[in-house]
Chains A and B, each alone.
Chain A
Amino acid sequence: MNVMEFTAVVAIVSFVAGLLGSLTGLGGGVVLVPLLTLLFGVDIRYAIGASLVSVIATSSGAAAAYVKEGFSNIRIGMFLEIATTFGALLGAFLATRIPTSILAIIFGAMLLYSAYLSRKPRSLEQRNLPPDPLATRLRMNGSFPDLEGPRSYNVQNVPTGFSLMFGAGALSGLLGIGSGAVKVLAMDQAMRIPFKVSTTTSNFMIGVTAAASAGVYLSRGYVDPGLAMPVMLGVLAGSLLGSRILVKAETKSLRLVFSLVILVLGLQMLYKGLWGKI
C-alpha cells in the first residue's frame, strides 16, 4: 500500500471505530490498537501512540458538551485525576520497557473484560445513600439535572475508588486507551456515583489522563505523524457524528455487535501475544 491508500483506509476504519465507540458508549480507542496491529500489521507501539492521541481528541471534544449540561462533577474528576495521572505516568514508563508480546496479552485481557462488562446488566442505582464522612470532607457530594428536577447523590468508598483509578490510569498509559471500563468499575460500583454523572465525569478525565502519558510516548518516538494523523482525524470526526445522532439511534443491537467485535479482537490479541507473533 502506498501512503495515500494507507492514510485513506486507516482514516475510514478510525472513523467507523469512533462512530461505533461513541454510539455504544464503549469508546473507539479500545478497538483501534488491535485493528491497526491485526489488520494493517502496524507495530503495536506505533498503534498505541496513535490511539493515545485520538483518545485526547475525543475526550476533550465530548467533555466540552457534557460540562455545559451540568452532569460532570469537576471536584470528583479533579481528585481522581491525581490517581489516574500518576498511574498513567507509571504505565507509560512500563510500556517502553516490557516486551510487545506481554503488551498484547494485557491488551487481550482488557478487551475480554470490556466485552464482558458491556453485556452485563447495569446494577440498579441505589438512591438516598447516607453521606460518607470522607466524601463529605472532600466536598464530592452533588446533584445533577434529572427528569423530575435536580437529584442529589452521596459518594461512597473514596479510598477504593481512588486505588482503582490508579489502576485505570496505569492501563491507559500502558495501552494507549481511555480505559473507560475500569473507570466505570471504580465510579459506579465502588463509589456509587449515578450513571449519568460517572460516565460524563470519566469522559472529562480521560483527556487529562492521556495527556500525562502522551508526553512520554512522543519523546520516545512512538507517535508517528503519518499514522497518528488519519487515526486522530478519523476518530474525532466519527465520535462527533456519533454524539449528534446518539439521541435517536437504537443502540441495543449495535452494542451487541460491537461487543462481539471486541470479544473476537481480544481473543486474537491473546493468541498472538501468547504465541509470540506480535
Chain B
Amino acid sequence: MELILGNLLRSGVLLSAVVVLCGACIYLSRHAHEKANYRVFVGEPSDFRTISGVIRSVRNGRGRGLIQLGLLLLIATPIARVTFSVVGFAIERDRMYVVFTLIVLVILLYSLLGSGIGV
C-alpha cells in the first residue's frame, strides 16, 4: 500500500512536470520577446482560472493553457493520494481512519469545487 502511494505521488509529479514543460516550449516560442510584467496585479483571465477554461485553451493549442493543465494535475496528485488512503484504511478495516481521511478529502474537494474553479 505504502509503495503504491509513493509511486502514485512520484508519477503524478513527473507527469505534471512534463506537461508544464511542453506548455513552456509553446509559450516561450511564441512570447519570448514580449515584455515580462508582474508588477501590477490584474488577476488571470477566466481561461486560466477554471477547469473548463483551461481545457478550452489547451484545445486551442495555447502554451499557457497547457501549463495550467500541468498545474491542475499537480494539485490533483495529493487529492488522488488521499483518495487511495481511504481505500487503504478500508482494506485494513480501520473505520476511525476511514472517517478521518474522508473528512480531509471532503475539505480538499470543497476547496477545489466550492471556489468556482469547476465552472
Contact = CB atoms under 8 A, between A and B. Distances in A.
Interface of A: 1-7, 40-43, 45-46, 53, 56-57, 59-61, 63-65, 67-68, 70, 74-75, 78-79, 81-82, 85-86, 88-89, 92, 138-139, 207-208, 210-216, 218-230, 232-233, 236
Contact of A216 (B20, B68, B78, B115): B115
B108 A85 contact: yes
Contacts of B63: 225
B55 interface: no
B93 to A, nearest CB: 12
B28 A3 contact: yes
A214 B37 CA distance: 22
B67 A225 contact: yes
Interface of B: 2-3, 5-7, 9-10, 12-13, 16-17, 20-21, 23-24, 27-28, 31-36, 38-41, 43-45, 48-50, 63-65, 67-68, 71-72, 74-75, 77-79, 81-82, 85, 94, 96-97, 100-101, 103-104, 107-108, 110-113, 115-117
Given A43-B40, A59-B78, 9 more contacts: A7-B36, A56-B75, A60-B13, A78-B101, A138-B96, A207-B77, A208-B104, A221-B48, A226-B31
Given A2-B36, A218-B75, A75 B13 contact: no
A74 B79 CA distance: 15
Contacts of A138: 96
Contacts, number: 199
Given A6-B36, A82-B104, A211-B78, A57 B13 contact: yes
Nearest to A230: B24
B36 A3 contact: yes
A224 B35 contact: no
A236 B17 CA distance: 9
Contact of B2 (A67, A86, A210): A67
B111 A229 contact: no
Contacts of B75: 53, 56, 211, 214-215, 218
